[in-house]
């Protein structure tokens, strides 16, 4: 039995669905994004091993270059304000708000060189994605073992206090004007990114960390709604699903 007519018909049906159905377009773009992540990770693994031979934070610049290229395919544009605050030659802790699977593109847009990231341990087992994160020097936290996760967080907190490392919040505007899982919206769009002023930790103790994080969250929340409002004035509304969480 000839398969080509059936394959052609299936392809035409798929193309028709993409033209008529917002949901089909949405899931096709999400599927492509996942395929890109795995494929690009596999290629980046080879490049990193050839360039640096193993696990090192130096690999992050290679990873960042690959991920930043995704924005051209999806028609996304990042407008960054305050990038110079991340270019100073000093240790710091960078925190940012979380919204969707697209966060990775935004993070790589502003991430400085030699930046060590923290991620949940489950990501380590995502094939080439986990491997490239490992090669990039990412620290993995096992959230199922709260004691181990808290040890990593405590180590970061103690280092902030001991070395007077400032916290630099990075805030991304709401994605909901172009990306919304509930309404199956995924179109080209613009993301405003603002790097806030460094929040000093000098003179603080470990006991001050909760209050410090609350200060960071409030500053990020205020900025989130401000830059999301700017996006609303320049285009589509931010929408009711906008969130400003860390």
pLDDT at residue 160 is higher than 70: no
Band of the pLDDT at 68, cuts 50, 70, 90?
very high
> Can you tell me the distance from the alpha carbon of 193 to that of 111, in angstroms, rounded to the nearest whole number?
12
Rounded to two decimals, the pTM is 0.77
Separation CA 127–CA 104 (nearest Å):
17
Q: Are 192 and 81 in contact (CB under 8 A)?
A: yes
The total of other beta-carbon atoms located within 10 Å of residue 47's CB is 16
Specify the 3-state DSSP secondary structure of 231: helix
3-class DSSP assignment, residue 240: coil
For residue range 98-131, list pLDDT tens digits in order: 888 888 888 899 988 778 788 888 889 999 999 9
Q: How confident is the model at residue 41 (pLDDT cuts 50, 70, 90)?
A: very high
* pLDDT value of residue 119: 81
* Residue 47: half-sphere exposure toward Cβ, Cα within 13 Å: 17
Residue 170 pairs with which residues in a beta bridge?
Answer: 96, 195
212 or 169: whose pLDDT is higher?
Answer: 169
Domain residue ranges in the chain: 25-234
Residues 195-222 as b or e (16 or more Cβ within 10 Å = b): bbebbebeeeeeeebeebeeebbebbbe
CATH match for 25-234 among 1.10.3470, 3.40.1130, 3.30.420, 2.60.40: 3.40.1130
Burial of 48 (0-12, 13-18, 19+ CB in 10 A): buried
State the pLDDT at residue 241.
40
């Amino acid at each position: 039995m000839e398969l080509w007519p059936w394959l052609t018909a299936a392809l035409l049906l798929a193309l028709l669905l993409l033209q008529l159905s917002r949901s089909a377009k949405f899931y096709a773009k999400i599927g492509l994004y996942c395929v890109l992540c795995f494929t690009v990770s596999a290629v980046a693994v080879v490049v990193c091993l050839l360039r640096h031979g193993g696990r090192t934070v130096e690999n992050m610049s290679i990873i960042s270059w690959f991920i930043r290229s995704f924005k051209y395919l999806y028609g996304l544009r990042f407008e960054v304000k305050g990038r110079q605050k991340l270019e100073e030659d000093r240790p710091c802790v960078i925190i940012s708000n979380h919204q969707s699977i697209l966060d990775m593109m935004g993070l790589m847009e502003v991430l400085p060189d030699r930046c060590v990231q923290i991620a949940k341990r489950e990501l380590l087992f995502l094939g080439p994605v986990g491997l490239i994160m490992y090669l990039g020097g990412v620290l993995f936290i096992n959230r199922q073992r709260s004691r181990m996760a808290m040890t990593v967080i405590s180590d970061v907190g103690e280092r902030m206090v001991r070395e007077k490392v400032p916290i630099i919040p990075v805030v991304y505007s709401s994605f909901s004007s172009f990306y919304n899982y509930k309404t199956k919206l995924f179109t080209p769009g613009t993301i405003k990114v603002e790097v806030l002023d460094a929040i000093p930790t000098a003179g603080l103790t470990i006991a001050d960390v909760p209050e410090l994080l609350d200060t960071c969250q409030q500053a990020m929340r205020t900025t989130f709604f401000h830059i999301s409002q700017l996006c609303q004035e320049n285009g589509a509304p931010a929408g009711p699903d906008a969130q400003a969480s860390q």
